[in-house]
């Protein structure tokens, strides 16, 4: 939540454009680098030849796995010259032609902040790579159960 507050504070003070989205297919395209096993899902359990309990060896990421958001989306955002900050790997920052750009991602939800030209470019390139639910402007919306209310004239964003 601290990173989210800082993200919105900078966006409000610098009067950056905001756009929110949901990565619909991020987990379907994420290959796992690490070896990951999980218990078999209920109602799909199978036992071994000698009756022993089996586990599933995952080859692709699935929703809810902590390694899932680390794969394809981070590669895309890095290719757009975003870099994660050391304190929070869900917060990406970058600069283009002297203008700040930021992106915050939590699992499959993200918000981009930047200039009027930069934000549509980032969202467009994200759409080229993933199927996304483009929620447009989050100024009177929600993210992570947090309501967002923006007053551009006062350069404030209220989170409740």
Q: What is the pLDDT of residues 68-84, one digit of tens each?
A: 555 567 778 888 888 88
- Residues in CB range of 75: below 8 A, 6 or more apart: none
Q: Where in the chain are all domains bearing CATH 3.30.310?
A: 2-29+66-159
Contact between residue 18 and residue 140 where contact means Cβ atoms under 8 Å apart: no
Average pLDDT over residues 105-115: 87
- Is pTM beyond 0.85? Reply is no
> Which has the closest alpha carbon to 159: 18, 9, 22, 20?
9
Residue 144: the pLDDT is 72
pLDDT digits (tens, 9 = 90+) for 18-74: 998 888 765 556 667 788 888 988 888 889 999 999 998 887 777 666 665 555 677
Q: Which CATH topology does 2-29+66-159 take?
A: TATA-Binding Protein (3.30.310)
């Amino acid at each position: 939540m601290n990173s989210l507050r800082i993200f919105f504070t900078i966006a409000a003070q610098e009067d950056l454009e905001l756009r929110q989205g949901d990565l619909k297919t991020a987990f379907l395209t994420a290959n796992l680098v690490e070896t990951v096993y999980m218990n078999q899902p209920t109602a799909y359990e199978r036992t071994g030849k000698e009756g022993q309990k089996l586990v599933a060896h995952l080859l692709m990421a699935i929703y809810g796995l902590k390694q899932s958001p680390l794969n394809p989306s981070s590669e895309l955002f890095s290719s757009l010259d975003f870099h994660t900050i050391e304190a929070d790997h869900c917060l990406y920052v970058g600069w283009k032609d002297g203008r700040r750009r930021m992106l915050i991602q939590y699992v499959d939800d993200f918000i981009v902040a930047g200039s009027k030209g930069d934000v549509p470019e980032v969202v467009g390139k994200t759409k080229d790579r993933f199927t996304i639910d483009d929620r447009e402007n989050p100024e009177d919306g929600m993210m992570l159960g947090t309501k967002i209310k923006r007053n551009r004239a006062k350069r404030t964003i209220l989170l409740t």
